[in-house]
Amino acid sequence: MIQHLIVLPIVLPLVVGIILLRGRGGATRPKRIIGVTATVLLVAISIALVAQAASGEVTYYALGDWQPPFGIVMVLDRLSALMVLLTSLLALGCVVFACGGDDEQGSNFHGLFQWQLMGINGAFLTGDLFNLFVFFEVLLLASYALLMHGGGKARIQAGLHYVVLNLAGSALFLIAVGVLYGATGTLNMADMAQRLASLPAERAGLVSAGGLMLLVVFGLKAAILPLYFWLPKAYAAAPAPVAALFAIMTKVGIYAILRVYHLVFGDQAGALAALDQPWVWWLALGTLVMATLGVLSARDLRLLVAYLVLISVGTLLAGIGMRSEAATAALLFYLPHTTLVTGGLFLLAELIGKQRGKAGTRIVKGRPLYNASLLGVLFLLGGAAVAGLPPLSGAIGKALLMQAASAEQQLWLWPLLLLAGLGSLVALSRAGSTFFWRSHEGEPSGQPLAKRQLFGVTWLLAAAPLLVVLAGPVSDYAQATAEQLGEPAVHIRALLPETTDGDEA
């Protein structure tokens, strides 16, 4: 089994999904057991993957035994291992939370959830551009189905926007991949990177057209400035465990940008290197501004958290836009923090909304909460972490990013990042004081919290303090990952030893 480790994060959810989806009916309990067990296994597998990747070696798995550049490969390096681990940790919190009752709101929840994981993990692991497209499709369709889970008008409308825009994005993805394949003759990213080094100058325009169109697609997934408009409503409408899992979806876009523009358009690509940088940098700053305004404008906790996701997108993209090793390391520290904490906040919003009767998650005076102290502590924890207040993980992540900025970049990044933090602080303190301090007279009448749901929330929000305690090792890993990303040559040599040796000889 050990030699198949790299492909397991895809095959395991695929198989489990098949088992769960084979019939629509059946009791909920066995499905829950299977779903949770599989996710726990996935966590174990991803820990093993991180352990393997931590050695610094880039390893790959050739599907169908067709060696690169001809076949499809799954590539394990520090970055992909980190992303897979993050996905599985987030997923575990979500799936346990869903077992508290959300999974019964519609059909096939657990199976779809597993296939969603398959799509996400595949996107993180694949070393092939077209295969990336395939996994984008898998995760798009699975997420669309999950978004519809439980039904309702808001979900159907938000889901329509989501799916139409993303299908258009898929079409653009195909066009872009077609152009890149036409210009370079390959789909394997490492091979493409290598071919760009010796690309005839006459084709550079074609490659940059393909590369930039790809950026539009990734930007749509990551929710960058003019392409994020669909996100807040869709995330706010999604069922809580799904919205929480969606916290990783924008990061798929971030990951893709990081991967493609560091590997394919890495330093070896000459004039085409860092094709994305100016666009990503400025649009990231714009995203940060608009997301901050969104946070301030939100009148509903779910919407507020959705805009917080957007702030994290802006922050991460700004980290990419800085294009330096230190910035990449910083954003890789910030990424797990923001993913887990915003995910946890989505779950928490659901718990709060459930105990407030009609007021739900709207930020208005409502019934007193049944578990006010417990939920209040969790809200404080998550809110402080996401706003970047110490002593939680957000503060360290932001400080790392700010420190990584060069002098000119500081001029833009610092004020915007700090104002985003302040905006979140204002909005969250308003929301928190309304939910926990400002309530109607009378006895709380909600239901006590379900243990599973509480576990899900705590599991995710525990990241905030844990990432601080473990800040040393985590930032070491992030630093090593950034170094590895900065050396595409090593990556290429690991995948294509023969051709690179030939070049040197």
CB burial of 243-263 (b: ≥16 within 10 Å; e: otherwise) equals bbbbbbbbbbbbbbbbbbbbb
CA dihedral angle for residue 169, residue 175, residue 178, residue 179, rounded to 10 degrees: -120
Distance in Å, CB of 2 to other proteins, minimum: 12
Alpha helices by DSSP H, 54-151: 78-98, 109-125, 129-147
Find the binding residues for other proteins in span 234-273 (CB under 8 A).
none
- How far apart (Å, rounded) are the C-alpha atoms in residues 338 and 250? 11
213 part of the interface to other proteins, by CB under 8 A: yes
406 part of the interface to other proteins, by CB under 8 A: no
- How far apart (Å, rounded) are the C-alpha atoms in residues 344 and 243? 10
- How far apart (Å, rounded) are the C-alpha atoms in residues 301 and 314? 20
Shorter beta-carbon distance to other proteins: residue 106 or 444: 106
User: What phi and psi values does residue 104 have, to the nearest 5 degrees?
Assistant: -90, 0
Among 5, 273, 425, 462, indicate the residue that binds other proteins (CB under 8 A).
425
Name the token pair of 153: 């008008």
455 part of the interface to other proteins, by CB under 8 A: no
Among 41, 296, 364, 466, indicate the residue that binds other proteins (CB under 8 A).
296
Among 98, 199, 220, 244, indicate the residue that binds other proteins (CB under 8 A).
220
76 part of the interface to other proteins, by CB under 8 A: no
Shorter beta-carbon distance to other proteins: residue 128 or 350: 128
Among 247, 395, 485, 494, indicate the residue that binds other proteins (CB under 8 A).
395
- Identify the H or E element spanning 74: strand 73-76
Among 36, 47, 54, 134, indicate the residue that binds other proteins (CB under 8 A).
134
- Locate tokens 């706003």: which residue? 387
- How far apart (Å, rounded) are the C-alpha atoms in residues 342 and 304? 10
442 part of the interface to other proteins, by CB under 8 A: no
Among 38, 42, 72, 335, indicate the residue that binds other proteins (CB under 8 A).
72
Among 51, 212, 497, 501, indicate the residue that binds other proteins (CB under 8 A).
212
219 part of the interface to other proteins, by CB under 8 A: yes
Distance in Å, CB of 39 to other proteins, minimum: 18
Among 5, 43, 52, 130, indicate the residue that binds other proteins (CB under 8 A).
130
Distance in Å, CB of 294 to other proteins, minimum: 5
The full DSSP string for 161-218 is HHHHHHHHHHHHHHHHHHHHHHHHS--BHHHHHHHHHT--GGGHHHHHHHHHHHHHHH
Whether the CB-CB separation of 345 and 247 falls below 8 Å is answered with no
Scanning 235-243, 258-266, 291-299, 485-493 for contacts with other proteins by CB under 8 A, the matching segment is 291-299
Distance in Å, CB of 82 to other proteins, minimum: 16
How many residues belong to the site for other proteins (CB under 8 A)?
A: 129
- How far apart (Å, rounded) are the C-alpha atoms in residues 178 and 176? 5
Q: How far apart are the first and last CA of the chain?
A: 37
154 part of the interface to other proteins, by CB under 8 A: no
SS3 330: helix
SS3 76: strand
Find the binding residues for other proteins in span 173-192 (CB under 8 A).
175, 178-179, 181-188, 191
Distance in Å, CB of 354 to other proteins, minimum: 21
Shorter beta-carbon distance to other proteins: residue 289 or 450: 289
433 part of the interface to other proteins, by CB under 8 A: yes
SS3 292: helix
278 part of the interface to other proteins, by CB under 8 A: no
Among 37, 56, 154, 297, indicate the residue that binds other proteins (CB under 8 A).
297
Distance in Å, CB of 148 to other proteins, minimum: 4
